[in-house]
Amino acid sequence: MKTQAMALLAGVLIGSVGVATIEGLHAQGAKLKAYAVSEIEILDRAALAAYLPKARQLIEAAHGRGLRTAAGRVMQIEGDPAPKSAAMDEWDSLDDAVTFYKSKAWMDLKSERDKATKVVRRYVVEVEKQ
C-alpha cells in the first residue's frame, strides 16, 4: 500500500513538472502583440477620406486591426510637442507589422498616402506579455 501511494505521488509530481515544462515552452514561443504608431500631419482631408478606406482594407487583409485614431485628438503630456495626428494599428506580432509595412501592397499606396498625409515618424512597439 505504501509503495502504491509513493508511486502515485511520484506520478503526480512527474506529470505536474511535465505540464509546467510544456506550458513554459509554449509561452516562450508565443508571439507578443505589437502596435504600430504613425505620427502624421494631414495635408489634404479630401485625399485622406479617399485613402483611409484603402489603407484600412489592406491592414485588415493582413490581419492588423486599425484603432481608428487618425482623426482623433492628440494631447501632449510630457516631452517634445505631440504630433498633430497619430494613427495606431494592432498586430499579432512585431514581425507581422514590419512585414506589412514593407509589403508591395502597402508601398503601392504610397502616392495616395503622400497626397493625404506627411508621415513624421512610424514605429512598432511590442507589448510585453502580462
The CATH code of domain 34-126 reads 3.30.70.100
Answer for the pair 117, 111: CB distance below 8 angstroms, yes or no.
no
pLDDT above 90 for 81: yes
C-alpha cell at 92: 499579432
Domain boundaries, given as residue ranges, for the chain: 1-30, 34-126
**pLDDT value of position 31:** 86
Query: 84-102 pLDDT, tens per residue?
Result: 899 999 999 999 999 999 9
Sequence-ordered alpha helix ranges (H) in 1-130: 2-29, 45-61, 94-101, 104-108, 110-116
Query: 16-46 pLDDT, tens per residue?
Result: 444 444 444 345 567 899 999 999 999 999 9
Q: What is the rounded average pLDDT for all residues in the chain?
A: 83
